Structure 1
Amino acid sequence: MSHRSTAAAVRMRAVVIGGSGQLGGWLLRVLAERNHDAWGTFATTAFPGLVPLDAANQAASAAWVRDQKADVVFYPAGFTWVDGCERDPGKARAANVEQPLNLARAAAEVGARFVYFSTDYVFDGHNGPYAESAEPRPLSIYGQAKLEAEQVLAETLGDLLLIARTTWVYGPERQGKNFAYQLAKTLREGRALPCPSDQVSTPSYGPDVAQAIVRLIEQGRSGLIHVAGPDLIDRVTFARSLAEAFGLNSQLIQAKTTAELGQGAPRPLNSGLLTPRLDAWLPGLMRPLSECLLDFQLKLDEPGGWVRPLTAT
């Protein structure tokens, strides 16, 4: 599509907190492709060109953000391990609420916009998929922290804030940690992969999510928006689609109910995100799963340091 590669007219100075992560890596790439000046940070996993930043050191990290004098600060960082959040609520709140709020305030002091990434886990999964107007009812510590962050950031930043909810993000990444990589490693080793058959959502392709977010910022958008793929499917169907795309044995994927799997934190089952605002502002940008799986394989051969799922460790 031609609209994917057209460079932006107004050059921005951008900071990506968590540039070593899945979305962070794609944000940096999209920003560079669209002729913006972008700097990324890392907390624990270094990659060339990234700056070390410990968001837990609130004074130092806020000073660094102010010094960048950015036009926009993206925050795809945080503690997103759902079961880990359930076990350590303090860490969940620090990484998902307190640290981004601190950096958002620093960004606002220099007039920068702030982009926060949230999740469909702010919903209870009884009546999904959800539009932006749906009432949140989080089931887990992770979902509660994300919702609290949405609320306090909105109160603090007003129109300087863009909140992007997304879900089941997959695609090439430099750390090789997302579900596609976990699945590939397990199946390649000939091991069975238990997978929840009763969790339904809207898989979201990382490169498309990043493209959408950068475009929205270029358009001057603020407020809350859902950025997710158009396919509403269960986790087993998603897993089998990934397996087949990479030539792996999909028969090793074992359908189990969430109750049978005994996951540590409650999950929203009938979930997913509707995207009426995104469809109005950037129609057709989020591609269907079948198209994204083809693109996934093509992008692994491009420069960018993406880990190949069949060699992930």
Structure 2
Amino acid sequence: MSHRSTAAAVRMRAVVIGGSGQLGGWLLRVLAERGHDASGTFATTAFPGLVPLDAANQTAAADWVRDQKADVVFYPAGFTWVDGCERDPGKARAANVEQPLNLARAAATIGARFVYFSTDYVFDGRNGPYDEASEPRPLSVYGQAKLEAEQALADTLGERLLVARTTWVYGPERQGKNFAYQLVKALREGRSLPSPSDQVSTPSYGPDVAQAVVRLIEQGRSGLVHVAGPDLIDRVTFAKTLARAFGLDAELIQARTTAELAQGAPRPLNSGLLIPRLDAWLPGLMRPLSECLRDFQIRLNEPGGWVRPLTPNLDA
């Protein structure tokens, strides 16, 4: 399927909470490319055109959302540091449950739809990959908070809610924080990079995730949908594939078990997301890893440097 963005038939007014983040940035870009009117917010990292918004200030944040008179509110924000969530369950619940629920209620008062981004961490990783009918069983504080949010939002919004679960999101992004940037920085400095050999999932390319979710909203879809890449691979294979794509020494990647890495929160090991629902609605939109990595390199050299991160560039 071609990934050229063509203007949508009906123009939407959209708000993206967390527009400075990886998915938030791509949502804003895809919305603009498809002819929609979109505004984005930031919490800590400012970019041109974004509005400061503290979702923890629930009254002010809800007032701002209502004032936007949007047709749809996207919420790719939240506290996504899995080990940090394990250490601070209160913050995890506030950022991933209470704050989006507050803004969803505000969106409902103006008749707007709400899009919440969730994760495969709602599963225990024993029998993945999972489709939308699989029973959630989170292992971590982060996964539990995401599942609680899914359920509370569904109870509150009904058909006005779209929950998009994704996982291992990578690709070009303005802050340069995702795993691909961390890997390239370490390998360029000649440092070894320990990587879990027993964690399996479905890497998801950020621009494709954003494209899929915007198109689903254009189609009027609601409910739960998995939005993930088609490749089911372990983290070491993923890391070595990234290294080779950028001409770096894949031998610096050291395979370790999750137990050896002693990560703070439990991880779903045999995980990943199947996308039967997305493939029925938007066939073939999520591209394979090899094609996405070629696109990644092309986008890093786009005129204007929209995706050049604040940290050292991949293409420096």
Asked if these proteins are the same fold (TM beyond 0.5), I'd say: yes
Structure 1 segment 90-169 matched on structure 2, within 5 A: 90-169=90-169
Partner residue, 1:275: 275
**Residue 305, structure 1, aligned to residue 310, structure 2:** no
Question: Distance between the aligned counterparts of 2:232 and 2:215, measured in 1?
Answer: 24
Question: Distance between the aligned counterparts of 1:205 and 1:304, measured in 2?
Answer: 19
Contact 1:184 1:310 in 2 (8 A): no
Structure 1 segment 158-237 matched on structure 2, within 5 A: 158-237=158-237
Question: Distance between the aligned counterparts of 1:111 and 1:272, measured in 2?
Answer: 34
Partner residue, 1:250: 250
Structure 1 segment 3-82 matched on structure 2, within 5 A: 4-82=4-82
Cα 1:169–1:275 change in 2 (3 A) is same
Question: What do the CA deviations read for 1:125-163 (whole angstroms, capped 9, x no partner)?
Answer: 000000000000000000000000000000000000000
Question: Distance between the aligned counterparts of 1:246 and 1:79, measured in 2?
Answer: 29
SS of 1:237 mapped into structure 2: helix
SS of 1:163 mapped into structure 2: strand
SS of 2:244 mapped into structure 1: helix
**Residue 287, structure 1, aligned to residue 287, structure 2:** yes
Question: What do the CA deviations read for 1:283-304 (whole angstroms, capped 9, x no partner)?
Answer: 0000000000000000011145
Question: Distance between the aligned counterparts of 1:104 and 1:212, measured in 2?
Answer: 21
Question: Distance between the aligned counterparts of 2:189 and 2:305, measured in 1?
Answer: 26
RMSD: 1.2
Question: What do the CA deviations read for 1:164-189 (whole angstroms, capped 9, x no partner)?
Answer: 00000000000000000010111111
SS of 1:40 mapped into structure 2: strand
Shift of 1:23: 0.1
Shift of 1:191: 0.5
Higher mean Cα deviation, 95-104 or 298-307?
A: 298-307
What is the one-letter code of the residue matched to 1:11? R
SS of 1:274 mapped into structure 2: coil
Question: Distance between the aligned counterparts of 2:127 and 2:208, measured in 1?
Answer: 26
Question: What do the CA deviations read for 1:57-83 (whole angstroms, capped 9, x no partner)?
Answer: 000000000000000000000000000
SS of 2:62 mapped into structure 1: helix
Question: What do the CA deviations read for 1:184-230 (whole angstroms, capped 9, x no partner)?
Answer: 11111100000000000000000000000000000000000000000
SS of 1:41 mapped into structure 2: strand
Question: Distance between the aligned counterparts of 1:142 and 1:4, measured in 2?
Answer: 35
Shift of 1:4: 3.4
Shift of 1:3: 5.7
Contact 2:16 2:27 in 1 (8 A): yes
Question: Distance between the aligned counterparts of 1:4 and 1:105, measured in 2?
Answer: 34
Question: Distance between the aligned counterparts of 1:230 and 1:274, measured in 2?
Answer: 8
Contact 2:5 2:30 in 1 (8 A): no
SS of 1:195 mapped into structure 2: strand
What is the one-letter code of the residue matched to 1:140? S
Contact 1:114 1:160 in 2 (8 A): yes
SS of 1:311 mapped into structure 2: coil
Question: Distance between the aligned counterparts of 1:11 and 1:304, measured in 2?
Answer: 27
What is the one-letter code of the residue matched to 1:213? V
Cα 1:297–1:158 change in 2 (3 A) is same
Higher mean Cα deviation, 242-251 or 298-307?
A: 298-307
Contact 1:4 1:211 in 2 (8 A): no
Question: Distance between the aligned counterparts of 1:29 and 1:155, measured in 2?
Answer: 30
Partner residue, 1:264: 264
Shift of 1:307: 2.4
Higher mean Cα deviation, 240-249 or 60-69?
A: 240-249
What is the one-letter code of the residue matched to 1:120? D
SS of 2:277 mapped into structure 1: helix
Question: Distance between the aligned counterparts of 2:106 and 2:141, measured in 1?
Answer: 26
Question: Distance between the aligned counterparts of 2:40 and 2:312, measured in 1?
Answer: 27
What is the one-letter code of the residue matched to 2:15? V
Shift of 1:232: 0.1
Cα 1:161–1:69 change in 2 (3 A) is same
Q: Percent identity?
A: 85
Question: What do the CA deviations read for 1:258-290 (whole angstroms, capped 9, x no partner)?
Answer: 000000000000000000000000000000000
Cα 1:304–1:94 change in 2 (3 A) is farther
For these two proteins, the number of residue pairs brought into alignment is 313
Instruction: With the length of structure 2 as denominator, give the TM-score of the two structures.
Output: 0.97
Shift of 1:306: 1.3
